[in-house]
């Protein structure tokens, strides 16, 4: 263990009792707050966490990130936040080192098959939905995705939307393309289409059709940008940026995000 990692470990150990007391105080207050109905999460920092922690492989950081998602989802169920949308893999991620991409896609496949019969999913009645260019993924992963969606399609208490092979610009482009094709099939002229075109016309063509827009978007790892996540849907969302890498995201970080949301006055552009 390097001296830097050891020093960080010792500092965290000293702080731990104070964090526990602070977390308990926040946890006791959360039920008095105005809470979001839909949270979007950009789970960033898995690779940097793996390097900083001296893990043998980058994919090990992603595996820890997958376990963190399970933990965070249980926090959402605890506070009755019914809809969560997470960004697991962008279209740009295909350009990463081939061994990392292969390892990531293999991890996604294994975790997706777990969702088919996972106790947490069925106990909390979670409808699982994948959004993005799923057809760009390996066939075996697509098979797992279809199985997870079919196994949970009848649930309506909670929802987990997983953005994979996703890009915000591509989503908007796809929505507009599908809209134009439908209009063409109806025999409408370009003039008719333009006369009818408004933002509401495209909403049913988005990947998230039928899902309320996110109230709060959380990004970990210290990056202060959306990077294309839910570009259309996040127009009136509140944002919370956290310095912590995703695998190290703590309940106290989550509670701080909820407290920050409670303190905002949402104006929806007004």
Q: Looking at residue 157, what DSSP letter applies?
A: S
The answer to whether 253 is a known catalytic residue is no
Which residue of the set 27, 93, 174, 253 is catalytic? 93
Which residue of the set 44, 46, 158, 215 is catalytic? 44
pLDDT tens, N- to C-terminus, the chain (270 residues): 456 555 565 556 566 666 667 677 777 788 899 999 999 999 999 999 999 999 999 999 999 999 999 999 999 999 999 999 999 999 999 999 999 999 999 999 999 999 999 999 999 999 999 999 999 999 999 999 999 999 999 999 999 999 999 999 999 999 999 999 999 999 999 899 988 888 899 999 999 999 999 999 999 999 999 999 999 999 999 999 999 999 999 999 999 999 999 999 887 766
Q: What span, in angstroms and rounded, lies between the C-alpha atoms of 22 and 251?
A: 11
User: 196: helix, coil or strand?
Assistant: helix
The pair phi, psi for residue 235, each rounded to 5°, is: -55, -35
Q: Which two tokens stand for residue 140?
A: 């075996």
Cβ atoms of residues 159 and 211 within 8 Å: yes
Q: What is the pLDDT of residue 94?
A: 97
E-strand stretches of 102-157: 126-131
Question: Which value, to the nearest 10 degrees, does the dihedral of the CA atoms of residues 180, 186, 189, 190 take?
Answer: -10
The answer to whether 44 is a known catalytic residue is yes
Q: Which helix (H) or strand (E) holds 252?
A: helix 251-262
Q: What span, in angstroms and rounded, lies between the C-alpha atoms of 211 and 231?
A: 15
3-state secondary structure 173-190: HHHHHHHHHHHHHCCCCH
What residue ranges define each of the domains in the chain, with the CATH number in brackets? 37-169+214-260 (3.40.1180.10)
Q: What is the pLDDT of residue 18?
A: 61
User: 31: helix, coil or strand?
Assistant: helix
Q: What span, in angstroms and rounded, lies between the C-alpha atoms of 41 and 218?
A: 5
35: exposed, middle or buried (C-beta count within 10 Å: 0-12, 13-18, 19+)? middle
Q: What is the pLDDT of residue 39?
A: 98
Q: What is the pLDDT of residue 30?
A: 87
Q: What is the pLDDT of residue 270?
A: 66
The pair phi, psi for residue 211, each rounded to 5°, is: -110, 130
Q: What span, in angstroms and rounded, lies between the C-alpha atoms of 151 and 114?
A: 11
pLDDT, tens digit, 9 for 90 and up, residues 176-229: 999 999 999 999 998 999 888 888 999 999 999 999 999 999 999 999 999 999
Buried b (16+ CB within 10 A) or exposed e, 210-238: ebebbbbbbbbbeeeebebbbebbbeebb
pTM of the model: 0.89
């Amino acid at each position: 263990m390097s001296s830097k990692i050891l020093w960080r470990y010792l500092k965290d150990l000293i702080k731990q009792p104070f964090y526990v007391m602070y977390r308990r105080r926040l946890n006791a207050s959360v039920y008095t707050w105005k809470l979001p109905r839909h949270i979007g999460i950009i789970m960033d920092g898995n690779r940097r966490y793996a390097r900083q922690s001296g893990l043998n492989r980058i994919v090990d950081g992603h595996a820890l990130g997958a376990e963190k998602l399970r933990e965070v989802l249980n926090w959402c169920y605890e506070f009755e936040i019914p809809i969560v949308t997470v960004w697991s893999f962008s279209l740009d991620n295909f350009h990463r080192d081939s061994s990392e991409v292969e390892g990531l896609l293999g991890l996604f496949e294994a975790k997706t098959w777990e969702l088919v019969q996972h106790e947490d999913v069925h106990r909390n009645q979670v409808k699982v939905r994948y959004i993005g260019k799923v057809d760009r993924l390996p066939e075996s992963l697509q098979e797992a995705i279809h199985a997870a969606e079919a196994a949970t399609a009848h649930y309506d208490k909670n929802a987990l939307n997983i953005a994979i092979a996703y890009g915000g610009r591509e989503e908007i482009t796809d929505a507009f393309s599908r809209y134009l094709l439908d209009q063409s099939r109806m025999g409408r002229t370009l003039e008719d289409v333009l006369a009818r075109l408004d933002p509401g016309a495209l909403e049913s063509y988005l990947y998230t059709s039928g899902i309320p827009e996110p109230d709060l978007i959380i990004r970990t790892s210290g990056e202060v940008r959306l990077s294309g996540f839910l570009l259309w849907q996040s127009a009136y969302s509140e944002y919370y940026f956290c310095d912590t890498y995703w695998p190290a995201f703590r309940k106290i970080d989550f509670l701080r995000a909820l407290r920050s949301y409670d303190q905002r006055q949402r104006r929806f552009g007004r």
